Amino acid sequence: MNFGSSAEKLNKNVINRYIDSLNNKLRLTVLNDTKINKMKSIQKQSLLVAVVVIFFTTPFFFASCKDETKSSVNFTYDKETVPTMSTDSMNALISDSGVISYRLVAKTCDVFDQAKDPYWLYPQGIYFEKFDSVFNVVFTVKADTAWNFTARKLWKLKGHVFVKNIVGETFTSDELFWNHQQQKIYSDKFVKIDRPDKGILQGKGGFVANQQMTEYEFKDVGESTSGKTIIYVNEEQENSEEKVE
CA distance 200 to 60: 73
The per-residue pLDDT for 25 is 54
pLDDT confidence bin for 80, thresholds 50/70/90 = confident
Q: What pLDDT does residue 17 have?
A: 66
Q: pLDDT value at position 152?
A: 95
For residues 168-196, average pLDDT: 94
How sure is the predictor about 66, in pLDDT bands with cuts at 50, 70 and 90? very low
Res 191: pLDDT: 93
Could you tell me the pLDDT band of residue 204, with boundaries at 50, 70 and 90? confident
Check residue 116 and give its pLDDT: 94
Is residue 52 scored above 70 in pLDDT? no
Q: What pLDDT, on a 0 to 100 scale, did the predictor assign at position 114?
A: 92
- SS3 category, 150: coil
Chain Cα centroid distance, residue 23: 82
User: Which residues touch 91 (CB under 8 Å, ≥6 apart)?
Assistant: 103, 104, 105
Distance CA 176, CA 185 (A): 7
Count of CB atoms situated within 10 Å of the CB of 137 = 13
Task: Report the C-alpha gap between 111 and 100 in whole angstroms.
Answer: 22
Enumerate residues 6+ apart whose C-beta is below 8 A from 53: none
Q: What is the mean pLDDT of residues 152-168?
A: 96
Q: Are 165 and 139 in contact (CB under 8 A)?
A: yes
Query: Range with the lowest mean pLDDT among 11-20, 163-172, 188-197?
Result: 11-20
> Highest-confidence range of 22-31, 183-192, 196-205, by mean pLDDT?
183-192
Question: Which helix (H) or strand (E) element contains residue 80?
Answer: none
SS (H, E, C) 87-130: EEEEEEEEEECCEEEEEEEEEEEEEECCCCCCEEEECCCEEEEE
Residue-averaged pLDDT of the chain = 76
Find which of 70-74, 100-104, 119-123 is predicted with most confidence, using mean pLDDT.
119-123
Short-list 130, 139, 83, 131, CA closest to 108: 83
Q: What is the pLDDT of residue 237?
A: 46
Asked if residues 218 and 207 have their Cβ atoms less than 8 Å apart, the reply is yes
Q: Is the pLDDT of residue 59 over 80?
A: no
- Report the C-alpha gap between 16 and 47 in whole angstroms: 46
Residue 23 pLDDT > 70, yes or no? no
Rounded-to-5 percentages of helix, strand, coil across the chain: 35, 40, 25
Span 60-69, average pLDDT: 46
How sure is the predictor about 44, in pLDDT bands with cuts at 50, 70 and 90?
low
Ranges 36-45, 72-81, 113-122, 123-132: which has the least confidence: 36-45
Which range has the top average pLDDT, 52-56, 60-64, 69-73? 69-73
Percent of the chain with pLDDT over 70: 59
